[in-house]
Structure 1
Amino acid sequence: MDQLTHYNREEYKKYIISKIDQQETIHVHQTMMDLHPIDRTEIYRELTEEQRRFIHEVLSPKEIGEIFDKLQTDEQTEFIREVDSQYVGNMFDDMYADDAADFLAEMEEETASNILQMMKQEEAEEVRELMSYEEETAGAIMTKEFIVLHSSDKVGEVMKRLRKEAPEAETIYYLYVVDEGHKLAGVVSLRDLIIADPKETVKKAMSTRVVSVDLEEDQEDIAKLIRKYDFLAVPVVTTQNTLVGIITVDDIMDVVEEETEEDFGEISAARGSLDAKISSFGAAKKRAPWIIMLMFLGLITANVIGQFEETLEAVVLLSVFIPLIMDSAGNTGTQALAVVVRRLAVGSIDGNGIKNMVKREFGTGMLLGLFCAVTLMVLIPLFYGSFILAGIVGLSLFFTLSMATIVGSIIPLIINKLKIDPAVASGPFITTLNDIIGLLIYFSIATALLQYM
């Protein structure tokens, strides 16, 4: 190992793969286990099926499980097909229950059932319990591998116990204390235990002010809580305050990634089709409802233009600025939408905050409209020789951008009040709505001032 320290990562990967090809069992096991689990996973991805078969013989099911957990779902599915069911059962026995539950929830019911039958009864029951909770709740993402202390435990005995049980626990930086009824009574950090007198009881070292989450609490709210308090973990309790699991920060990072992708899909009207591996047909199928709905909204836009046909016939030059009005309205509204959705996502809006934010966005829209109006009122007379036309376009843009920010900020707030994900107020929807409003403002002003042109 020492002679390879000057190798970069790619060269080292090639070196290990060459040893796999030579089937040097002991050397491959040692070098693979010296790597970080992520690096092991990257090497595993590059292997052929034959090379993977050798790795399955060299590494134990528990060691393969660490690699398996870092693979994408489609890669995990492929892996499952390459090994016998008993090996898979042993591997899942050694995985954290929440990771096993996440994977099995994505599998066909028959396949998941077969794997559960191959697992040890105790381990399988924990996985089934986690799979029974509603998706995106605390119960569904919590882990069952954690160490529970009692207030009467001696610190010295706890430290001895940690040396034995820590390898099997998800985290030991926070340890939760329960009473005789297994109800959450306190929390103690590993640091507090290290500096405490070994003869003292845990009760003296623990804090009774514990922040916990309910089994049914939404995962997005839990992510906000952990971010707010900078927790490494948070306990999960029932309505009777019984401790049933913990949620660690690494699980929450997965939640944040999942929620971000979901919101991005909503805002772009492409929810469910962001996966690079999805087929063209699959992507089109998921996007079609939004596109069809927006198409019908587009018919309203066309109807608005048709209602002002006489105005357009009188001054054909007005049509030149239709794209400018529509694009500016859509872009400004989408910017306001992004601001509101972001603040709702991080939970930084309260009663007064909503009023101040809408007021700020409206002010921003007015200033943007004023800047654009002044610019156009200088440029249009130079290119088209009409101060009246410049006034119509400039005034329209001022009111349009002011309204666009109001629409972009209020609609997601209304949707959020209805207990619906505010990201569904997607960019294309806001854009189309602002197109309609912008055209109504533009042609109304143009019709009113038509006699002066």
Structure 2
Amino acid sequence: MNRLNEEERQQYFDQIFKTLKYKKKEEFLELFLELHPTDQMELFLDLYDDKRPMFYEYLAAEEFAEIFQGLELDAQHDVILELDKTYAAQMFNYMQSDDVADFIGELEDQDAKNILKAMDKEEADEVLELLSYPDESAGSLMTKEFVSIYAHQEVQQVMADLREKGIDAETIYYLYVVDDKGKLVGVVSLRNLITVPLDEVVENIMSTRIVSVEAHTDQEEVAKLISDYDLLAAPVVTSTNELIGIITVDDVIDVLEEEATEDFGEIAAAKGATDVNMTSFAAAKKRSPWIIMLMFFGLITAGVIGQFEETLEEIVLLAVFIPLIMDSAGNTGTQSLAVMVRSLATGSFEKKGLWNTIRREFGTGIMLGLICAITLMIIVPFIYGSYMLAFVVGLSLFLTLSIATIVGAVVPVIITKLKLDPAIASGPFITTVNDVLGLMIYFTIATTLIAYL
């Protein structure tokens, strides 16, 4: 089916809903199975609860498996309660092993055991293997549905095998060549396979320059590798180079989204609380430690202001510019933080090097500081009638922004060297540090030049 616009799509959905309403099974299947799996999933989620039993009745377990594995985890938990146990077991048998492992991994032990017991032994064993690997590792991310071939096979034999086995594979764009012991020795693309004579031997067309990952490799490293090499899939091997699975690009996209969400939560000091489906209590529980910690950092800021109480009492007008100094410092530092965290995550930091990156950010801070300082030196005298006050505020802002960019760039690097996630140098944390530095610079300059104000 061609891609429909929103109006056509809704009309098509309504047509399918009518077939359910009037219990026209054959017409329903004809219309529904024409849809892309993503549209099938969306239509399913739009169903009223009372229509779902009919949906399960009309669709075979194999047909529903693709819909179920595309649902969010919370939706999967709700749906599984509605399914007949036999139907559910059949559905899990048809799902990709990595998707079953993702679902079962979130269940209570007894519930997981019940599902595995109901599945076919071969399918259950594959899921158990995936569950045996650490979370967020290549082994836990891989799928067991792949096609492997032998170097001594002829192309015509490989093509015949593909017709038989390819339907169950996650992807057949890459065929992995193994020896008699199951060790990875080469890779052949489908393009190469169909453009050579049928009597050609695999060994003559395979590439031995293989990009692979070990089962215990971190998922973020796997995602970076697949992105760097523009791969559709990457083979997963043991420490002895035995081929045990593959990781496809669609799984990598999920990893990148997950890692980006995690980093966003770190930068916003809301780690683990970015899920919009989370309850208010759960979100508050996740965020409160950060807020309490930052509250104590705020006391440091208050302490800095208290140290210069005499200066403030003598020139009360200085208090007007405290929010400006603090906000500008925090915003500039957070921008540098975001740039550095992304640089570390994508690997571009290693290419540029520490000093080049710091020099760039420092230069940016100087330019920003100059622009803001000149602007203030023009505006402040018109509003407050004091050129010296404009000079103090402008100079303070220039120095503050120059230093704030360095703080925002250096702190994530230090945290990375300590083998921690650079995103924990959260925006609020960087903001508070730069607030303290900005206020100290501002009041030090103001106190030094107080006789001229």
TM over 0.5: yes
Partner amino acid, structure 2, of 1:231: L
Query: CA offset at residue 162 of structure 1?
Result: 0.4
SS in 2 for 1:8: helix
Provide the residue aligned with 1:416 in structure 2.
416
- CA 1:326/1:229 → structure 2, altered by over 3 Å: closer, same or farther? same
- CA 1:351/1:35 → structure 2, altered by over 3 Å: closer, same or farther? closer
Distance 1:50 1:114 in 2: 27
SS in 1 for 2:272: coil
Provide the residue aligned with 2:231 in structure 1.
231
Provide the residue aligned with 1:181 in structure 2.
181
SS in 2 for 1:185: strand
Could you tell me whether the CA contact under 8 Å between 2:344 and 2:350 is conserved in 1? no
Provide the residue aligned with 2:35 in structure 1.
35
Query: CA offset at residue 110 of structure 1?
Result: 2.1
Over residues 294-337 of structure 1, what are the superposed CA-to-partner deviations in whole Å (9 max), with x where a residue is unaligned? Answer: 00000000000001101111111100000000000000000001
Structure 1: give runs of 5+ residues left out of the alignment: none
Provide the residue aligned with 2:273 in structure 1.
273
Query: CA offset at residue 109 of structure 1?
Result: 2.2
Over residues 172-211 of structure 1, what are the superposed CA-to-partner deviations in whole Å (9 max), with x where a residue is unaligned? Answer: 0001101122111000000111011111211011000101
Distance 2:173 2:29 in 1: 30
Provide the residue aligned with 2:64 in structure 1.
64
Q: Which aligned runs of 4 or more in structure 1 are off by greater than 6 angstroms?
A: 4-7
Partner amino acid, structure 2, of 1:332: T
Partner amino acid, structure 1, of 2:333: G
Partner amino acid, structure 2, of 1:61: A
Over residues 81-108 of structure 1, what are the superposed CA-to-partner deviations in whole Å (9 max), with x where a residue is unaligned? Answer: 0012221111001100001111111222
Partner amino acid, structure 2, of 1:335: Q
Distance 1:131 1:29 in 2: 35
Partner amino acid, structure 1, of 2:169: A
| TM-score for both structures, normalised by structure 2 | 0.97
Identity %: 56
| TM-score for both structures, normalised by structure 1 | 0.97
Partner amino acid, structure 2, of 1:90: Q
Partner amino acid, structure 2, of 1:357: T
SS in 1 for 2:105: helix
Partner amino acid, structure 2, of 1:35: L
Distance 1:313 1:138 in 2: 62
Provide the residue aligned with 1:354 in structure 2.
354
Aligned ranges 1:13-412 → 2 under 5 Å: 13-350=13-350, 352-412=352-412
SS in 1 for 2:329: helix
Distance 1:41 1:289 in 2: 38
Distance 1:317 1:14 in 2: 66
Provide the residue aligned with 1:10 in structure 2.
10
- CA 1:150/1:407 → structure 2, altered by over 3 Å: closer, same or farther? same
Query: CA offset at residue 5 of structure 1?
Result: 11
Distance 1:309 1:99 in 2: 62
Distance 1:288 1:390 in 2: 39
Distance 2:150 2:39 in 1: 39
SS in 2 for 1:273: coil
Query: CA offset at residue 220 of structure 1?
Result: 0.9
- CA 1:344/1:6 → structure 2, altered by over 3 Å: closer, same or farther? closer
Partner amino acid, structure 2, of 1:401: L
Over residues 364-402 of structure 1, what are the superposed CA-to-partner deviations in whole Å (9 max), with x where a residue is unaligned? Answer: 101111111111111111111112111111111011000
Distance 1:108 1:35 in 2: 34
- CA 1:174/1:46 → structure 2, altered by over 3 Å: closer, same or farther? same
Partner amino acid, structure 1, of 2:250: D
Distance 2:356 2:349 in 1: 10
Distance 2:352 2:408 in 1: 18
Please say which of residues 344-353 and 74-83 is displaced more in the overlay.
344-353
Query: CA offset at residue 7 of structure 1?
Result: 7.4
Query: CA offset at residue 26 of structure 1?
Result: 1.4
Partner amino acid, structure 1, of 2:22: Q
Provide the residue aligned with 2:446 in structure 1.
446
Distance 1:55 1:100 in 2: 21
Please say which of residues 323-332 and 123-132 is displaced more in the overlay.
123-132
SS in 2 for 1:350: helix
